[in-house]
Chains A and B, each alone.
Chain A
Amino acid sequence: NAGVTQTPKFQVLKTGQSMTLQCAQDMNHNSMYWYRQDPGMGLRLIYYSASEGTTDKGEVPNGYNVSRLNKREFSLRLESAAPSQTSVYFCASSVPGAAVYGYTFGSGTRLTVV
């Protein structure tokens, strides 16, 4: 099925470990986004990529890095995980002008840092 695919779905890390969250979309969307979701705080933007070859910081970028590998793939890396990064991470994609078309989200990665 067309859409946004995220891997892994679940991950437990020890403090200080690193990992990369993978995201791929097959809808030929130009823009891609990484959000984290915490109880009572909605979705907060970590990084986004308006188009292939560009990335920009969102609201909560500290402790994260991203790579827009090509038009389909946008990865999120935690270099040294901290308990404060325990969250559910969502990748999304959109065509330009998301005001009308909206975002398509993946099903999320639930990350626990102990």
Chain B
Amino acid sequence: TQLLEQSPQFLSIQEGENLTVYCNSSSVFSSLQWYRQEPGEGPVLLVTVVTGGEVKKLKRLTFQFGDARKDSSLHITAAQPGDTGLYLCAGRDTGTASKLTFGTGTRLQVTL
């Protein structure tokens, strides 16, 4: 079983601060996705990165896939209370179609 470790596990910041969440594995993934989950709901896809070194931006969120396709990061600029939630990375391994392995999650709280 491939493991995806996320850090930090919890993060509490004030509105306007910047933050970075990390997703690390010893395994190579063919692609990696980031999801956000709000209380009482299922995760919702934010982005997919496929190529090693790829950087994608979604408004104030910047996602990067590591060169070796073993790790990824999510950077949020000028966090807002609406960014509050559980952030999950998920990797698709190189040998299995469609199945995703999810990370341990980072719970972010942004306060005024």
Contacts and interface: CB of A to CB of B under 8 A. Distances in A.
Interface of A: 4, 31, 33, 35, 40-45, 48, 50, 58-59, 90, 92, 94, 96-100, 102-103, 105-108
Interface string B76-103: 0000000000001010100001111111
24 contacts: A4-B42, A33-B99, A35-B102, A40-B105, A42-B102, A42-B103, A42-B105, A43-B43, A43-B88, A43-B90, A48-B98, A59-B1, A96-B97, A96-B98, A97-B97, A99-B33, A99-B98, A100-B31, A102-B48, A103-B100, A105-B41, A105-B42, A108-B40, A108-B41
A58 to B, nearest CB: 8
Contact of B30 (A43, A48, A99, A107): A99
Contacts of A40: 9, 104-105
Interface of B: 1, 4, 6, 9, 30-31, 33, 35, 40-45, 48, 50, 88, 90, 92, 97-105
B48 to A, nearest CB: 6
B41 A43 contact: no
A97 B41 CA distance: 24
